[in-house]
Amino acid sequence: MFTIATWNVNSLRVRLNHVLEWLALRKPDVLALQETKVEDQHFPEEALRQAGYHVFFNGQKTYNGVALLSCSPLHNLLTALPNLDDIQRRVLIANIGNLRIVNVYVPNGASPDSEKYIYKLNWLNKLQAYLQQELIQHPRLIVLGDFNIAPEDKDVHDPAAWEGHVLVSPAERNALKGILDLGLKDSFRLLNTEPGQYSWWDYRAGAFRRNNGLRIDHILSSSELAPHCVRCEIDKEIRGWEKPSDHVPIIASYENIN
DNA sequence: ATGGTTGGCTTCCAA
């Protein structure tokens, strides 16, 4: 069994103990982190190595930042989409075993009338183009991370209140659909059909207590891998830990892929 | 209820 997870930690330095505790609890083979918000020279490499993980990271000051933790070595590393000139550190790509792993922190988009929204849609367009090429060479592909898009109304606690907002707008959903249409499957939805399953809750207004959340973090499995995905779970209880990230981990398990 | 909270190196911005 191979297990892989994604988690937007909203500052790795603040959340390091949560990450170490969670790794000890769930023992995933791979963990993809987003919003590490730490420059590479300050990355807590040693603590994660001692926990048994190879580390690969791509950070910047204050914003963004991604990392890959893996029990087995990482190879053929990339720290950006090759088709997008972007100073923001949002991507890590690696081979792990016979898999190709793409860790993404998709731009938030701020609001549909903003420059950041245009940047988000362009970013997603470039990601789709890259993945289309990547699937030719690497049919055993997993794309995971914070997509900042709720695919359907059932992934939103109050679709009427959210209509037209960033994270749920038709253009964003269409951009995600373009990526899914490459043959990448939403692993959570392969195995769970119920609404009300979220991966992010706003820190404000008691959102978690009211389960006012969105499902915006995803693990996409290529057509070749999807039939092997036997579990995909949202680790909701972590949101109840002391000083939690606003996102929780999603963990997927695959069998017979060696 | 256009509110509210968290993280960063800030005197506000991003989420």
| Protein CA at A42 to nucleotide C1' at B8, angstroms | 14
Q: What are the Cα distances from residue A48, in Å, to A13, A23, A242, A252?
A: 12, 9, 21, 21
For the annotated catalytic residues of A, the residue numbers are: 105, 146, 247
| Protein CA at A136 to nucleotide C1' at B6, angstroms | 41
Could you give the number of structural domains in chain A? 1
pLDDT tens across A5-58, in order? 999 999 999 999 999 999 999 999 999 999 999 999 999 999 999 999 999 999
Confidence of residue A145 (pLDDT cuts 50, 70, 90): very high
Which pair of tokens denotes residue A200?
């992010």
At residue A136, φ and ψ (nearest 5 deg) are -65, -45
As a whole number, the mean pLDDT across chain A is: 98
d(CA A153, CA A212) in angstroms, rounded, equals 13
End-to-end Cα distance, chain A = 9
Q: Is the CB of A37 under 7 A from strand B?
A: yes
Q: What CATH code is carried by the domain that includes residue A241? A: 3.60.10.10
d(CA A29, CA A21) in angstroms, rounded, equals 15
> Domain limits at A30?
2-254
In this predicted structure, what is the pLDDT of residue A258?
83
pLDDT mean over A126-149: 98
Q: Is the CB of A62 under 7 A from strand B?
A: yes
The whole model's pTM is what?
Answer: 0.98
| Protein CA at A4 to nucleotide C1' at B14, angstroms | 28
In this predicted structure, what is the pLDDT of residue A29?
98
Nearest DNA or RNA nucleotide to A64 (CA to C1')? B14
Q: Is the CB of A203 under 7 A from strand B?
A: yes
Q: Which residues of A are annotated as a binding site for Mg(2+)?
A: 8, 35, 146, 148, 246-247
